[in-house]
Amino acid sequence: MRRLSTDNPDDAGAQVKIMSEANVKKLVVFRDPVKGQVSSIVAEFVEFASSRCEIVASCHIDECSPEVLSESDFAVVFGGDGSIISAARSLAQSSVPVIGVNLGKLGFLAEFSADELKQNLDDILGGRARIEKRMMLDCTVFDGKKDRFRSQAVNDVFITAGPPFRMIELRITVDGQRLADCVSDGLIISTPTGSTAYNMSAGGPILSGKMEAMVVTSICPHSLSFRPIVINADSRIEVSAVHLNDGSSVLVDGQVSAPLGMADVVRIGRAKEAFLIVNNPLRTEWDTLAGKLDWAGKPKYKGV
């Protein structure tokens, strides 16, 4: 192989080209086929981005191989928060940062519009965008002999009463110490990211996504004194059954589920992997909360 020399202009140009190619970022593009007009929006972005980076794949998350993920520098997800959450459980294994493009309704995690992504793409590819690290949960269901179910969670793990929809009773321990018995319609264990999801609807506290903690919130408890509690991110929670329904189950991010039996123990702790998300410099972490959910909005006085 001929050695390149910087004294030769042609060789110097070849070196610059090689260095330039080595610095080209690789993107994988995920789309949610359920969202209307998503194909045309994705096609338009791919055409725009092709001169700036290498698009290694454009597909649905379930169609993408681990090899493609491992060689990608960023993953662009077109859809809503549900699409991002689904993708994040796979992307966390490869430490690939997610760029969320909101084609849904709220967009807590899908921070960019399609136009905003185009405006900021050069900064993202050039390493000038802020990448935020979010903690995830690891959930296992132990049946007394082995772990028969395991999944990571971006938002939350929740145990639901299920058919015939009578209240259930759950025993909660934290780091081996008994916390409480909860008679309710179920239980939510949430990450800070998920604190604005089911946890918030059930009356739990809103946490900054940058925090590292877990929130334990009961669903319609049969007690005025059972209030949500925030615990250390490195704690280990175990939930066992005192009474269940035939249809009781555990759900992860509202997307992955497993039935629960009386002998099962649900174990929840911090996952080793983290979810990486690219922040939109045009928005703050509170914009969606205040702007779309009207959190802390002032009273709307008549005639004002």
Residues 118-135 have pLDDT tens digits of 999 999 999 999 999 999
Q: How many CA atoms lie within 13 A of 194 on its CB side?
A: 29
Q: What is the pLDDT of residue 3?
A: 39
pLDDT above 50 for 136: yes
CATH architecture of residue range(s) 22-130+279-291: 3-Layer(aba) Sandwich (3.40)
d(CA 108, CA 173): 31
Preceding peptide of 164 cis, ω within 30°:
yes
Which pTM does this prediction carry?
A: 0.87
CA of 166: how far to CAs of 252, 261, 269, in Å?
21, 15, 28
| CA separation for the pair 201, 41 (Å, rounded) | 32
Look at the block and give the residue holding tokens 């940062």. 97
11, 5 Cβ separation under 8 angstroms: yes
- Reported as a single tens digit per residue, the pLDDT across 180-211 is 999 999 999 999 999 999 999 999 999 999 99
Question: Which pLDDT value is given to residue 80?
Answer: 85
Judged by average pLDDT, the poorest of 62-66, 152-156, 171-175, 255-259 is 62-66
If DSSP codes are grouped into helix, strand and coil, which group holds residue 12?
Answer: helix
Alpha carbon dihedral 52, 56, 58, 61, in 10-degree steps, equals -130
Residue 147 is encoded by which pair of tokens? 């772990």
**Which residues are registered as beta bridge partners of 133?**
276
Strand partners, 56: none
Catalytic residue IDs: 81
pLDDT digits (tens, 9 = 90+) for 268-281: 999 999 999 999 99
Would you report the helix, strand and coil content of the chain in percent, each value rounded to 5?
A: 25, 35, 40
Which option is the CATH number for 136-272: 2.60.200.30, 3.40.50.920, 3.30.70.260, 3.40.50.12140?
2.60.200.30
- Tokens in use for 288? 């969606």
- Fold: same for 22-130+279-291 and 136-272: no
Q: What percent of the chain has pLDDT over 90?
A: 67
Beta bridge partners of 201: none
pLDDT in tens, 101-113: 988 777 788 889 9
Q: Where do the structural domains in the chain lie, given as residue ranges?
A: 22-130+279-291, 136-272
Give me the pLDDT at residue 2, please: 38
